[in-house]
Amino acid sequence: MTEADPEQPEPQPDESSAPKFVQVALNLPLRREFTYVLPAGMSALPGNRVRVNFHGRKLGGVVTAVSDTTDLPIKKVKPIEDVLDSDLSLPPSLLELAKRMAASYGCSIGEALDATLPSIAKRRGQRLIAHVMLQAPHDLAVQAVEELEEKHQAQSRVLRTVIEFGGPMTISDVRRRTKTSDSPWKTLCRGGILKRVMIAEELEELRPAIEERAERHVLNEHQEKAVEAVTKYVEADEHRTFLLHGVTGSGKTEVYLRILEKVHSLKKSAIVLVPEISLTPQTVGRFASRFPDVAVLHSGLTDSERARQWQRLLQGKATIAVGARSALFAPVRNLGLIVLDEEHETSFKQDSTPRYHARQMAIERAQIENAVVVLGSATPTLESIGKARRGIFELLTLPERAGAGRLPRIIVQDLRTESKEAQRAGVVLSRTLLVMMEERLKARDQVLLFLNRRGYSPVLLCPSCGESVQCEQCSVSMTWHSRRSRLVCHWCCSEKRRPEMCTTCENERMLELGVGTERLEKVVKEQFPEAVVARMDADTMAERGAHERVLGSFRKKHIDVLIGTQMIAKGLDFPDVTLVGVVSADTGLFVPDYRAAERTFQLLHQVAGRAGRGEKAGTVIIQTYCPDNYAVEAAAKNDYDSFVAQELVFRKLTGYPPFARLLRVLAEGRNESDAQKILREACKPLNAMKGVEVLGPAPAVILKVKDNWRWHMLVKCFDPAAFENAMSAIGTVEDLGTRTCRVTLDVDPSSLM
Ligand code: ADP
Ligand code: ZN
């Protein structure tokens, strides 16, 4: 029992004997709450987690309201079974935030609360977690991967994943990475190849992997101004949203740190959101080394570790929470500031229900708690810069690099000018890039090569009839992975062997079309046999601890050339990187998405920002077949403003954000006509609505995934009233789903595929 709170009156005997009714939100796609009664002697407040019986199932839920009466017949109201973690109840502000999330993203309050209250409270204390590990000897297991492949694909995939991971792997990880059910690992256990083991969660504290010295610099004039503008609002407890637009290396992080010092001295707390913890160890390290009371929240935390961090924050022992998207819900006390670093990153949008955007919810939380928001980026999204220009956000700018670094020289290499032979074989490294690499490697500098496509080649094509190898369950080409010697579908993870000949025309030679990181690695090793080359992509990072290991070696200069996908585009700050090569600027330009140009610009600008961060000058080479494209041109000139000006014209003309808000409805089912029918029904009330335009229903870009047909429609809402109307007309569209057809509503979708 905790001590009685002196401000709370003693409970009166007559009150405690009268039944209390509670409204409970359940994590189900049902947009209503359910009434239960508190049995005598049990008490609960809004924000408490409870266990209830729901149609025979025991479910966890959260109390949203307590009352003395109910309109329901008393006999029908079932009792609460248990109140869980009464000391960990959700603060009222987070309850309010969950309600707002439900309203803005069209999900149930229970679903929103489930995101708000991560698994922490679900199970507490040290506990044992189910893992699988190898039972059979390693070489036998490797052999089994091959043998199982023909008839038992899923088992083969599970086994290979466990072998690659190189140690006991949690079952939830296995399922997530292989996109399989429980049955494959269970069968492997029965066959004696894997075994299931229970391992206690580790309780050790997380230390950011890379040691960072966080030097405290004298701020330059622009930084000074930014810090001043923000702290003024923090001191006044007044809500405001700032957009900090600073070129790469302009000292944005230093600005956050200074504002945090102020927050600290005011005895307030803060939340810092970063795109992905594992990819930003340096940034996290800088926060942790400057402030002793940082709680780092990341997806790799075990439940008990997360519970411990959550407790520290609740009790005020930690006052700064640093983490990815979900750290937004950290239960800090007396919130003064939320920083969202790299606000343009798509990982701030959750791609499962509730499909919230952390930027939007950060602003809402700050509104509720009178706190200040700082959104930082070198390439703010058009939505955010649009709001800054309309005065909704306050714009702060850091126009130049801080300290020793200078912005790199950028060369656009037009691949159309390469020789005809080189073009026929497919240009991987242009002559310019080759010469520059040679020069830099001789000087013992480091090189980053960026290519946003993993595998050896994205297409395996028959040069005689033009057919390419497609996934049998999805309408996409399979990617050739040469190291593993398999074709892999990047949508459903299924694999197959390379066909001996074209299955359509029986031509014997198949052509590997296009370049992925694996092929790039091979080419670089052939060209520079002396250099130490490492590759960072989802395939090489499957092993535990791989990120920290590779970044650590790169920092110690044990690696000369680091090749990578977008994993290397973010936050890395290595002073000896003097050359960055963008192998193809064009990979994202032709994606059927209105943000293709914006994403290309962002990526090029961010990657280029990795060069010349120390005392040495940096060079960036951008290889492209489209040197005249405005995104490429603007990135080459480091000219954000001119990109935005041109992009805004295009957006205005086509009616896309920031000139409209989008809702996407996706229907997926075994039966193509079901999916179509549901959407036709759903779009009826929208077609006549003012300020609303419906595109489709139409087949989705990827028409089939895992044998499910996919149709979608896009609803453009041109003003806030239109958005409200459209939401209330289709807010429950997911209820139209049937047993065979799933419907999802995505507000401000980040993917249109
Ligand atoms: P950003 O977050 O904008 O990419 P950082 O905060 O990482 O920029 O700063 C880039 C580099 O400049 C870092 O090495 C940092 O230590 C240094 N730096 C930041 N502010 C200053 C300053 N006022 N004077 C000197 N160096 C600075
Ligand atoms: Zn597939």
- In tens, the pLDDT along 522-539 reads 999 999 999 999 999 888
pLDDT in tens, 722-751: 999 999 888 777 777 888 889 989 999 988
**Rounded distance from Cα 523 to ligand 1 centre (Å):** 35
pLDDT in tens, 229-276: 999 999 999 999 999 999 888 999 999 999 999 999 999 999 999 987
**Rounded distance from Cα 402 to ligand 1 centre (Å):** 5
Ligand 1 and 252: CB distance under 6 A? yes
Ligand 1 and 219: CB distance under 6 A? yes
**Rounded distance from Cα 257 to ligand 1 centre (Å):** 11
Q: Which atom of ligand 1 is nearest to the CA of 378?
A: 3
| pLDDT of the residue at 279 | 62
Ligand (nearest to CA of 404): 1
| pLDDT of the residue at 8 | 45
Cα(79)–Cα(93) distance, integer angstroms = 27
Using pLDDT thresholds of 50, 70 and 90, give the confidence band for residue 381.
Answer: very high
Class of domain 15-122: alpha beta
Task: With a cut of 70, say whether residue 433 has pLDDT above it.
Answer: yes
Which residues share a beta bridge with 480? 457, 487
Cα(276)–Cα(259) distance, integer angstroms = 22
**Rounded distance from Cα 152 to ligand 1 centre (Å):** 53
Q: Which atom of ligand 1 is nearest to the CA of 341?
A: 2
Cα(94)–Cα(582) distance, integer angstroms = 43
CATH architecture entry for 212-398 = 3-Layer(aba) Sandwich (3.40)
Among protein residues, the one whose CA lies closest to atom 26 of ligand 1: 403
With beta carbons less than 8 A apart as the criterion, state whether 368 and 96 touch. yes
Ligand 1 and 250: CB distance under 6 A? yes
Task: With a cut of 90, say whether residue 150 has pLDDT above it.
Answer: no
| pLDDT of the residue at 213 | 56
Least confident of 4-13, 94-103, 365-374, 677-686: 4-13
Q: For the chain, give the mean pLDDT.
A: 86
Question: Comparing C-alpha atoms, which of 125, 117, 124 is closest to residue 47?
Answer: 117
Ligand 1 and 108: CB distance under 6 A? no
Least confident of 109-123, 446-460, 596-610, 656-670: 109-123
Q: Which atom of ligand 1 is nearest to the CA of 571?
A: 4
Ligand 1 pocket: which of 210, 217, 225 to mutate (most atoms within 8 A of CB): 217
Q: Say which residue, 602 or 71, is predicted with more confidence.
A: 602
Cα(747)–Cα(218) distance, integer angstroms = 43
Task: With a cut of 90, say whether residue 106 has pLDDT above it.
Answer: no
Among protein residues, the one whose CA lies closest to atom 23 of ligand 1: 219
**661-747, what's its fold?**
Alpha-Beta Plaits (3.30.70)
Ligand 1 and 446: CB distance under 6 A? no
Amino acid making up residue 378: A
pLDDT in tens, 157-211: 999 999 888 778 888 888 888 888 899 999 999 999 999 988 765 433 444 444 4
pLDDT in tens, 115-149: 777 554 444 444 567 889 999 888 899 999 989 98
Cα(715)–Cα(723) distance, integer angstroms = 9
Ligand 1 and 258: CB distance under 6 A? no
Ligand 1 and 600: CB distance under 6 A? no
**409-454+515-650, what's its fold?**
Rossmann fold (3.40.50)
| pLDDT of the residue at 212 | 52
Among protein residues, the one whose CA lies closest to atom 16 of ligand 1: 215
Ligand 1 and 377: CB distance under 6 A? no
Q: Which atom of ligand 1 is nearest to the CA of 609?
A: 4
**Rounded distance from Cα 625 to ligand 1 centre (Å):** 34
Task: With a cut of 60, say whether residue 9 has pLDDT above it.
Answer: no
Ligand 1 and 106: CB distance under 6 A? no
Ligand 1 and 609: CB distance under 6 A? no
| pLDDT of the residue at 209 | 43
**Rounded distance from Cα 85 to ligand 1 centre (Å):** 43
Query: Cβ neighbours of residue 608 under 8 Å, at least 6 residues apart?
Result: 248, 408, 410, 580, 582, 620, 622, 635, 638
Ligand 1 and 403: CB distance under 6 A? yes
Tell me the average pLDDT across 548-561: 88
The percentage of the chain sitting over the pLDDT mark of 70, rounded to a whole number, equals 92
Ligand 1 and 217: CB distance under 6 A? yes
Using pLDDT thresholds of 50, 70 and 90, give the confidence band for residue 38.
Answer: confident
Task: With a cut of 60, say whether residue 507 has pLDDT above it.
Answer: yes
**Rounded distance from Cα 241 to ligand 1 centre (Å):** 23
How far is Cα of residue 627 from the mean position of the Cα atoms in its chain?
Answer: 30
Q: Which atom of ligand 1 is nearest to the CA of 215?
A: 16
Tell me the average pLDDT across 444-467: 92
The model's pTM is 0.84
pLDDT in tens, 700-714: 989 999 899 999 999
Entry field: residues in the chain:
753
Ligand 1 and 249: CB distance under 6 A? yes
**Rounded distance from Cα 465 to ligand 2 centre (Å):** 23
Which tokens hold the place of 394? 């306050």
In this structure, what DSSP letter does residue 211 have? Answer: -
| pLDDT of the residue at 124 | 40
pLDDT in tens, 390-417: 999 999 999 988 877 778 899 999 988 8
**Rounded distance from Cα 223 to ligand 1 centre (Å):** 10
Which residues share a beta bridge with 542? none
**Rounded distance from Cα 707 to ligand 2 centre (Å):** 8
| pLDDT of the residue at 288 | 83
| pLDDT of the residue at 278 | 65
Please state whether the peptide bond connecting residue 658 to the residue before it is cis, i.e. omega within 30 degrees of 0: yes
Query: Cβ neighbours of residue 5 under 8 Å, at least 6 residues apart?
Result: none
Cα separations in angstroms, 708 against 506, 584, 659, 674, 702: 29, 32, 33, 11, 10
Query: Cβ neighbours of residue 64 under 8 Å, at least 6 residues apart?
Result: 23, 24, 25, 33, 46, 95, 99, 109
**Rounded distance from Cα 177 to ligand 2 centre (Å):** 14
**Rounded distance from Cα 253 to ligand 1 centre (Å):** 7
| pLDDT of the residue at 87 | 66
Cα(162)–Cα(156) distance, integer angstroms = 10
Which tokens hold the place of 330? 């950290």
The percentage of the chain sitting over the pLDDT mark of 90, rounded to a whole number, equals 46
| pLDDT of the residue at 236 | 95
Ligand 1 pocket: which of 219, 223, 253, 259 to mutate (most atoms within 8 A of CB): 253
Ligand (nearest to CA of 222): 1
Ligand 1 and 614: CB distance under 6 A? no
Q: Which atom of ligand 1 is nearest to the CA of 220?
A: 23
Among protein residues, the one whose CA lies closest to atom 11 of ligand 1: 249
Among protein residues, the one whose CA lies closest to atom 25 of ligand 1: 403
Among protein residues, the one whose CA lies closest to atom 15 of ligand 1: 251
How far is Cα of residue 729 from the mean position of the Cα atoms in its chain?
Answer: 29
Tell me the average pLDDT across 36-54: 87
| pLDDT of the residue at 393 | 97
Question: Comparing C-alpha atoms, which of 405, 379, 377 is closest to residue 644?
Answer: 379
Task: With a cut of 70, say whether residue 623 has pLDDT above it.
Answer: yes
Angle 183-190/153-165 helices, nearest 10 degrees? 80
Ligand 1 pocket: which of 222, 227, 254, 605 to mutate (most atoms within 8 A of CB): 254
Q: Where are the domains of the chain?
A: 15-122, 128-200, 212-398, 409-454+515-650, 458-513, 661-747
pLDDT in tens, 268-291: 999 999 987 666 667 778 888 888
**Same fold flag, 212-398 and 409-454+515-650:** yes
Ligand 1 and 581: CB distance under 6 A? no
Tell me the average pLDDT across 86-108: 86
Ligand 1 and 254: CB distance under 6 A? yes
| pLDDT of the residue at 214 | 60
